[in-house]
Amino acid sequence: MYFPGCALKSTAEDYEKTAIAVAEKLGVELLELERWNCCGVVFNVAADAVMHHIAAVRDLIRAQEMGRKLNDNRLVTICSMCYSTLKRVNQIVKDDPEKLRNINEFMDEEEDYEGNIEVIHLLQVFKDLVGYDKIKEKVSRRMEKIKAAPFYGCALLRPKEVSIDDPEDPKIMEELIEALGAEAVKFPYEIKCCSSYNVIYDRKITEETAAEIQRAAERWGANIIVTTCPLCHYNLNTSKRKNGIPTIYFTELMAYAFGLEETLSPETLKIFNKILEEI
């Protein structure tokens, strides 16, 4: 089962399309969660915030219902922010039975959530369930001219209770990029924050942050930035620098490596063609 979320159905349609295509190529069938709703995007940290967890718990109930039919309790998220929110809410209701009881009683039109769903990110599926050796086998294109800087942002790594890797020194995307035959450019800004919803509060903050991250990736020799998060993707591409390097989704890089060009948008294809022409 996978949870798409708002971005994958609007600004990040290419992300969903390529994610499903590359997973299929690797023998993983991603089935869209039935009747999903918005996860809430951000996690509310107040100890008494119960209302703010309702949306995410309802999604977990949907996963419980569908998981029973499929005999599978894993809910895969593709967007980083959905991952963080669903994972943290899942954890909080598992650790706090009173909170879970309150939520279950409030949503009396739904079945009770039992706390058995496991929230994972697509990167973990590729690393742990598929394995990078199998990914290597599917690569049909020479990728060595692509120097990709992995950008993790915040939601996949922090706080450390929900991190998919070492929060200070993650390697999961770097290893994937190398498995694809491209050069992974590890750079010191890889775990930085893209400034998130500051794009609404004060767009200048986001433009400056984006330019800073982009500049750093270039200085370390990258010609493309690879991300997992639709908001990082949007924010990093707001950078106003001329000829700044582009940011794409990791599944787009995979689709290109696997020769699945038909799933890529013309703009993304142009990005790859430009890189190959320049060198």
Q: How far apart are CA 40 and CA 234, in angstroms?
A: 18
Least Cβ distance, residue 5 to another protein (angstroms):
8
The answer to whether residue 242 forms part of the interface with another protein (CB under 8 A) is: no
H/E stretch holding 249:
strand 247-249
The answer to whether residue 276 forms part of the interface with another protein (CB under 8 A) is: no
Give CA angle at 108 (104, 110), nearest 5°: 85
With 0-12 / 13-18 / 19 or more C-beta atoms within 10 angstroms meaning exposed / middle / buried, residue 254 is buried
Least Cβ distance, residue 140 to another protein (angstroms):
32
H/E stretch holding 208:
helix 203-219
Least Cβ distance, residue 244 to another protein (angstroms):
18
Cα-flanking dihedrals φ and ψ of residue 75, to 5°?
Answer: -110, 115
**Per CB under 8 A, which of residues 184..223 are in contact with another protein?**
191-193, 195-202, 205, 208-209
* Residue nearer to another protein on the CB measure, 26 or 199: 199
H/E stretch holding 83:
helix 80-95
* Residue nearer to another protein on the CB measure, 151 or 256: 151
Q: What is the DSSP letter of 144?
A: T
The answer to whether residue 265 forms part of the interface with another protein (CB under 8 A) is: no
The answer to whether residue 54 forms part of the interface with another protein (CB under 8 A) is: no
Question: For binding to another protein (CB under 8 A), which residues are involved?
Answer: 5-7, 10-11, 38, 40-42, 44-48, 52, 79, 81, 153-154, 157-160, 167-168, 191-193, 195-202, 205, 208-209, 230-231, 234-235
